[in-house]
Amino acid sequence: MKLINLLAAAALMMGFAHTMAAQTPVYLDDSKSIEERVEDALSKMTLEEKIGIIHAQSKFSAPGVPRLGIPELWCTDGPMGVRPEVLWDEWEQASWTNDSCTAFPSLTCLAATWNTDMANLYGKSIGEEARFRNKAVLLGPGINIYRTPLCGRNFEYLGEDPYLSGKMATDYVKGVQDNGVAVCVKHFALNNNEINRHTSNPIVDDRTLYEIYLPAFKAAALDGGAWSFMGGYNLFRGEHASYNPILMNDILKGEWGWDGAVISDWGAVHDTETAVTGGLDMEFGSWTDGLSNGRSNAYDNYWLANPYLNGIKEGKFTEDELDDKVRRVLRLTFRTAMNRNRPWGSMVSDEHIAACRKIGGEGIVLLKNQNDLLPISPEKVKKIAVIGENAIKMMTVGGGSSSLKAAYEITPLEGIKKRFGKDFEIVYERGYVGDTLGEYNGVKTNQDLRDFRSVAELTDAAVKAAKDADIVLYFGGLNKADHNDAEDSDRLSMELPYGQDALIKALAKANKNLVVVNISGTGVAMPWADEVPAILQAWYLGNETGNAIADVLSGDVNPSGKLPYTYYADLMQCGAHKLGEYPGTPAKDKFGNDIFDMPYNEGIYVGYRFIDKNNLKPTFPFGHGLSYTTFKYGKASVDKAQGSKNDKFTVSVPVTNTGKRAGSEVVELYIHDSKASVDRPEKELKGFSKVFLQPGETKTVTFEITEPDLSFFDADKHAWVCEPGDFEALIGASSADIRSKAKFTVH
């Protein structure tokens, strides 16, 4: 090409670039701050466009502003993997052929790792999958506190303790959002049960709210920097959570100064005025005419659509609230769909599969291991009997909106055959027949689990196989069927379903070398715990289920998980049932609709806080988990015997691996306030650290204690208060196994 042509081309490009530069509006100029871009875009939008951007146009998308080149905003479930694409206005999957995903372990498993590095790895991995699917908002993590073992969605959450939940949520949030994908932290707040989930009205005092039910959300919002929140279906003090002025305006956007967008749960909006003034920014999933789940013109009838537009035109509402909503939606859009520096993401990559297996293996909790029955080794056994439906049942499908179309799923039996098949004889017996469905919103497992044998036949066959084996691996628990760890249905009791207790007892009689692997996302009654020498709490582990479990059973992975919730012996050990009112008593909301008032009479005494207060002995305590090695804790010490509340107290404790095998130990820090003007729990978790140690190795674990760790929420002052006096730092291997204490005084 002649020089003259090159010069001409260059001049033309320069001219074009200059023209573009002159005409690039601020909101499209990513050299400008997001706030400048938000204001510029807002100033260019018509009233109709402002209304359009704050509500859905399809099941999972909002329209953006096509005229201005502001793209649609696409959301997707869920917290453990990216949901398959659904039809425009349906829950039904759209049968795409390229949206199979990595199903990561349930969030209770993540919490059970007590390892914030795993939380970040988890967030990064799932964020990459959401990014690859070009989603701007991932509808997770779910972080509601585990108030009752009956809650159908405990498996989607991070356990009973606000501090552990907040720490794990923070790094999950950062991992996801590093991909330019927003999290949508849910379900804010007090969505602690699924029964009557649209009409439950928790009645909670401020101290309980601020000490138990808000901290994890506050951490996700301010430490994690979450870009969106999802309001819950339930009410709080008479107003629906998704647009509750106290939760959204006073606390989230007021006291916390949070700048993100509040998205309703799907179908959680029931009127316009409160939605306008109650701090809701985006409306999704509404049932417009109250008679059907969506209609072709549904979206214009949304509470924040024409009714709101007409309300503004009639002077019922100013545009002030609308502009705040639009700013937050624009900010969310600029952080995600209009962020041109986002990475590209990936789907079912080797890294994601490795992450799935690693998090699963780190989250499995060894609850009991008498006579070192585990790990399985060729010197000890030759024949393995695998028993139970949960050894063969795929669990990635089902359970509600977190259901997934996993690229594949390795069942426990498949994992065991792969790991042990060459050195051991392996036999399998069903043991019991539970849930033979395998379908959710059109996604099918294609397993045919039908079995028409009687309970007696199934039991006899299982007991016979157990008798003939050197070791028995029983896989049972729950399975995400209704009432067994599923959205929109709580458990009906703590008991295992399908007659499993009787079967487990029969197996324990048949063979003393019985290992029970309980697969569930919530605590269950274990009346046979004393008769069973080894018990593993395995969670819903996703694609790599069988491999992660075999890794631990074989000792390839030394278990290091600890319980993120208490294993109550029965419901009377749980404050929500002993003192609280579950599932509530009939009442009316301000429109006269039926609701269920549910006073949280147990107050702050949730989980181990209630156990301690009442000197109870649960089946297994919060924070409990064993290893294939042993650890010795040295004497805890504190760097200063006394200091002011503005000082930092550093507690140190040496931990030694006194066994023959490398392993990780979660060291837990609890704070005890020796004397307070209010009733306080015996101890509260305020730190944890997972330390990896070679045999014989010692490391010193340190914790920094500051004023917030010592404070309680004074409802009268509406402020956190650290009272002077004596405190104790309790160093524990679990909430019931305090190994060392260090006293200090705040003056």
Euclidean distance between CA atoms 524 and 566, whole angstroms: 10
List the structure tokens of 590. 């301000």
Q: How far is CA 669 from CA 46, 329, 702, 722, in A?
A: 55, 40, 10, 18
Taking the complex as a whole, how short is the minimal distance between the CB of residue 437 and ligand GLC, in angstroms?
20
Question: Three-state SS for 416?
Answer: helix
- The residues in 615-674 that bind ligand GLC, with binding defined as CB under 6 A, are none
| Nearest partner of 712 among 367, 315, 205, 185, judged by Cα | 205
Binding to ligand GLC by CB under 6 A, coded x per residue (else -) over 3-42, reads: ----------------------------------------
Give me 528's structure tokens. Answer: 């046979």
User: Of residues 77, 99, 265, 490, which has the active-site annotation?
Assistant: 265
Query: C-beta of 376: minimal distance to ligand GLC in Å?
Result: 38
Q: How far apart are CA 723 and CA 734, in angstroms?
A: 27
Beta strand 663-673 with 725-734: parallel, antiparallel or unpaired? antiparallel
Q: Look-up: residue for tokens 């214009």?
A: 300
Least distance from ligand GLC to the Cβ atom of residue 266, Å: 4
How many Å apart are CA 5 and CA 18, to the nearest integer?
A: 20
Applying the rule CB under 6 A, the residues between 311 and 340 that interact with ligand GLC are: none
Least distance between ligand GLC and beta carbon 264 (Å): 9
Nearer to ligand GLC, 239 or 265 (CB): 265
Provide the minimum distance between the beta carbon of 188 and ligand GLC in the complex, in angstroms, as a whole number: 11
Give the CA angle between residues 252, 256, 258 to the nearest 5°. 70
Closest to ligand GLC by CB, 265 vs 602, is 265
Residue that is written with structure tokens 């069942």 in the block: 411
Per CB under 6 A, the list member of 401, 513, 566, 629 interacting with ligand GLC is: 401
Task: For ligand GLC, give the closer residue by CB, 139 or 251.
Answer: 139
**What x/- string results for residues 221 through 260 when contact with ligand GLC is judged by CB under 6 A?**
----------------------------------------
How far apart are the C-alpha atoms of 148 and 672, rounded to whole Å? 24
What are 745's strand-pairing partners?
A: 642, 726
Q: Which of 53, 107, 139, 576 binds ligand GLC (CB under 6 A)?
A: 139
CB nearer to ligand GLC: pick between 123 and 388: 123
265 assigned to active site: yes
Q: What is the residue whose two structure tokens read 């730190």?
A: 687
| Candidate list 163, 172, 213, 266; residue touching ligand GLC; CB under 6 A | 266
CB atoms within 10 A of CB 88: 11
Which residue, 266 or 567, has its beta carbon nearer to ligand GLC? 266
Q: How far apart are CA 219 and CA 208, in angstroms?
A: 17
**CA-to-CA distance for 208 and 545, rounded, in angstroms?**
37
CB of 186 to ligand GLC, least distance (A): 5
Assigned token pair, 65: 């502003």
Torsion, Cα 551 557 560 564, to 10 degrees, reads: -20
DSSP 492: S
From residue 161, give the alpha-carbon distance in Å to each of 41, 605, 683, 692.
42, 11, 12, 24
- The nearest distance, CB 194 to ligand GLC, in angstroms, is 9
Task: State both tokens at 332.
Answer: 């969310």
Cβ nearer to ligand GLC, comparing 82 with 139: 139
With binding defined as CB under 6 A, does residue 77 bind ligand GLC? Answer: yes
Residue 186 sits in the site that holds ligand GLC (CB under 6 A):
yes
Alpha helices in 514-627 (DSSP H): 545-554, 575-578, 608-613
> Which of 35, 92 has the CB closer to ligand GLC?
92
- Our CB check for ligand GLC shows the closer of 185 and 356 to be 185
Instruction: Establish if 82 lies at the interface with ligand GLC (CB under 6 A).
Output: no
Between 144 and 558, whose beta carbon lies closer to ligand GLC? 144
Which amino acid is located at 489 in the chain? S
Residues near ligand GLC (CB under 6 A), total: 6
Taking each helix axis as running N to C, give the angle between helix 116-132 and helix 162-177, from 0 to 180 degrees, rounded to the nearest 10. Answer: 40
For residue 430, what are the CA distances in angstroms to 267, 386, 392, 732? 40, 8, 8, 40
- 167 contacts ligand GLC (rule: CB under 6 A): no
Minimum CB separation of residue 500 from ligand GLC in Å reads: 29
β-pairing, 649-657 vs 698-705, is antiparallel
618: buried, middle or exposed (CB in 10 Å: 19+, 13-18, 0-12)?
buried
- CA gap 688, 606 in Å, rounded: 19
Q: Binding string, 347-386, against ligand GLC, x = CB under 6 A?
A: ----------------------------------------
Return the sign of the alpha-carbon dihedral for residues 188, 194, 198, 203.
negative
Does 513 bind ligand GLC (CB under 6 A)? Our answer is no
- Cβ–Cβ under 8 Å, residues 205 and 718: no
Residue 186 vs 357, nearer CB to ligand GLC? 186
Q: Which residue, 169 or 463, is less far from ligand GLC as judged by CB?
A: 169
Intra-chain end-to-end CA distance of the chain, in Å: 82
Q: Which is nearer to ligand GLC, 49 or 77 (CB)?
A: 77
Asked whether the CA dihedral 135, 168, 265, 493 is positive or negative, the reply is: positive
**In whole angstroms, how close is the CB of 398 to ligand GLC at the nearest point?**
14
Half-sphere exposure of 172 (CA within 13 A, CB side): 38
CB of residue 401 vs ligand GLC: minimum separation in angstroms? 4
**Nearest distance in Å: CB 237, ligand GLC:** 21
Near ligand GLC by CB under 6 A: residue from 99, 171, 239, 265? 265
- Give the shortest CB-309-to-ligand GLC separation in angstroms: 25
What is the C-alpha separation between 567 and 545, in angstroms, rounded? 22
Q: Which residues bind ligand GLC (CB under 6 A)?
A: 77, 139, 186, 265-266, 401
Q: Which residues carry out catalysis?
A: 265
